Amino acid sequence: MIEVAGERWGTAAQIAVALGDDVTVTMVRNWSRRDGLQRMVVGRMVYYRFAQAADIERAKRLGGRGRPRELDFALTLARSCL
């Protein structure tokens, strides 16, 4: 992860690992394409905004569509403290 102007950014793999076992690299990339997850390209690396990815992931978890997933309360509490 890197920090730019007080915001944490990470690669799709770093974001997927940070958000839990059921989040994949492909999901993070799809969020960028479909849900407007901000990305920053530096050379050949693509970084995604972690806070926004966590918000999108939480909205998808709590939404009624798709397969049910477990809510990671530790991540939710950590995010609410920011």
Per-residue pLDDT of the chain (82 residues; tens, 9 = 90+): 888 888 999 999 999 999 988 899 999 999 999 999 999 999 999 999 999 999 999 998 887 766 665 666 555 555 555 5
Per-residue confidence (pLDDT) for residue 73, from 0 to 100: 58
Per-residue confidence (pLDDT) for residue 41, from 0 to 100: 95
Per-residue confidence (pLDDT) for residue 76, from 0 to 100: 58
Sign of CA dihedral 24, 28, 33, 34: positive
| Structural domains of the chain ordered from first start | 2-80 (1.10.10)
For residues 61 and 47, give the distance between their C-alpha atoms in angstroms, rounded to a whole number: 22
pTM for the whole structure? 0.74
Per-residue confidence (pLDDT) for residue 60, from 0 to 100: 87
Structure tokens at 46: 């693509």
**Whether the Cβ atoms of residue 20 and residue 13 lie closer than 8 Å to each other:** no
Task: Provide the residue count of the chain.
Answer: 82
| Alpha helices in 1-82, H assignment, sequence order | 12-19, 25-35, 50-62, 73-80
